[in-house]
Amino acid sequence: MEDKLKCLALVGGGALVGAVSTLFLLKLLPRRIPNRCNKKNTKMDETTFKCRIDSGNGNCGMVGLNLLEDEIVCEQLTRNIQLFGLDSQQKVTSSYVVVIGLGGVGSHAASMLLRSGVGKLLLVDFDQVSLSSLNRHAVAIRADVGIPKAECLKKHFSSIFPECQIEAKVLLYDASSEEEILSGNPDFVLDCIDNIDTKVALLAACIRRGLKVLSAMGAGARADPTRIRIADLRESTNDPLSRAVRHRLRKEYSIEGGIPVVFSLEKPKAKLLPFKGPNGEDNPSDYQIVPGFRVRIIPVLGTIPAIFGQVLASYVVTQLAGLHVQTEPVVNLDVDHYQMLLQRLIEHEESLYGTAMQVQVDVEEVQYVVKELWHGRSARELSAKDVGRGMWRSVNELMLVRWDWTKPASVSNLILLKFNEADEHELRTLDDIKEKEPEFFSRVTFVLKRAEQDFGLELAS
């Protein structure tokens, strides 16, 4: 009996050792999925994977372009692949993005970049997680209070997408750290800094280096998520931070615009809270961790910076994937303005053709043409010159006219021009415009083609 028990124990022990050894060997082998990501018969080159142990959290980053050949990664990103297509998702997974500023906005942006499969991330912030930041931070928990924000994100991210190469730098961006942070030719830089001096310096450096950059403006003291927009810095309104950044970039670096920003059209509902030290002192500079950084507090509804971060990530990921997204234009006009433009069109048609029978648009369609197609400005203007109240004034100098006089005044044949531009346009033929201004002709044709698609006019013709 004893011999029998010994025999069974040996067999059981051997089986256990064999099972553990098998599991260990399977973990060492690279995970492959030859057909799963190949649903659309897309051929992928064979790639040799190398495991790089990242100092800090032990990230095993797969050095190579084809992260998507990994079975777990492919399944984790399957919804992205279905949306973008395999080749486009491949661009995302082989990209490198730098996120600077890891508070409420930056942490959520970085988190969704990771979850979207960005293959390499550099996370930069000099600050630490505080208890009061937990109302808006993407991943921080109470146990993280007191540790650097960059290290906090890296720790949590390693369990979400361990194949991503994550580098965390506990560092303040300035002239001395520019090369360390912006070298390596990143595909995108996300500016989520809330200090104006640092923000302006970073944006200027990105422009100088030719790097794609997306900047977050003020998310504090707002409560309406429906007013969040993406636009050129020149078009941002109702945002004190945007206004200050715009002024500094123009004055110190002669940069007029060309920087996409995420901002809110909502006016801030509160100001900086007055500072009081522990002993009643009222000098904030005595308590600055870094000179020039604010100590007074902006009230924050945690959902708004989180949505800012999601918008930032969505913009970057779709750009990396090559998916064209038409952002909501920033046009601050009301129904009276659109009614005025419609009436102006009717009167122009009557004076030119003796009748307005060819006007085939109503106020709602005029709003679409003015706002969606021409963004509230002349078709000859490539970027906004008037924003806010300036746009209200500028609309008094605009009118809708037919692009092609042989066709009716419909949504797919109306352009917005200034009065003098409209007069000149009426005297020219499309062939003349095509010959002398081919770029303008192509741009207008492209925009009007979009109107045909939006209204299903291609199918009707």
Quote the tokens at residue 194. Answer: 């809330």
Residue 358 CA to residue 375 CA, distance in Å, equals 24
Terminal Cα distance for the chain, rounded:
92
CB 393 within 8 A of CB 386: yes
| 350-399: pLDDT as tens digits | 999 999 999 999 999 998 999 889 988 899 987 655 544 455 466 788 99
In this prediction, residue 236 carries a pLDDT of 85
Quote the tokens at residue 333. Answer: 């006009």
Q: Which residues pair with 214 in a beta bridge?
A: 190
In this prediction, residue 15 carries a pLDDT of 61
Which segment of 200-204, 270-274, 419-423, 444-448 scores lowest on mean pLDDT? 270-274
CB 284 within 8 A of CB 273: no
pLDDT at 129 over 70: yes
In this prediction, residue 156 carries a pLDDT of 97
The tokens 């500079």 sit on which residue?
A: 285
The predicted model gives 183-205 an average pLDDT of 96
Residue 65 CA to residue 59 CA, distance in Å, equals 17
pLDDT at 436 over 90: yes
The predicted model gives 433-458 an average pLDDT of 90
Is residue 218 classed exposed, middle or buried when 0-12, 13-18 and 19+ CB atoms within 10 A define those classes? buried
Residue 421 CA to residue 372 CA, distance in Å, equals 20
pLDDT at 275 over 80: no
pLDDT at 37 over 70: no
In this prediction, residue 331 carries a pLDDT of 66
Higher-pLDDT residue of 143, 37: 143
Q: Which of 381, 383, 423 is nearest to 399 (CA)?
A: 423
Which segment of 267-276, 297-306, 311-320 scores lowest on mean pLDDT? 267-276
Sequence-separated contacts (24+) of 322-325 with Cβ below 8 Å: 322/88, 322/91, 323/83, 323/84, 323/88
Arithmetic mean of pLDDT over the chain: 83
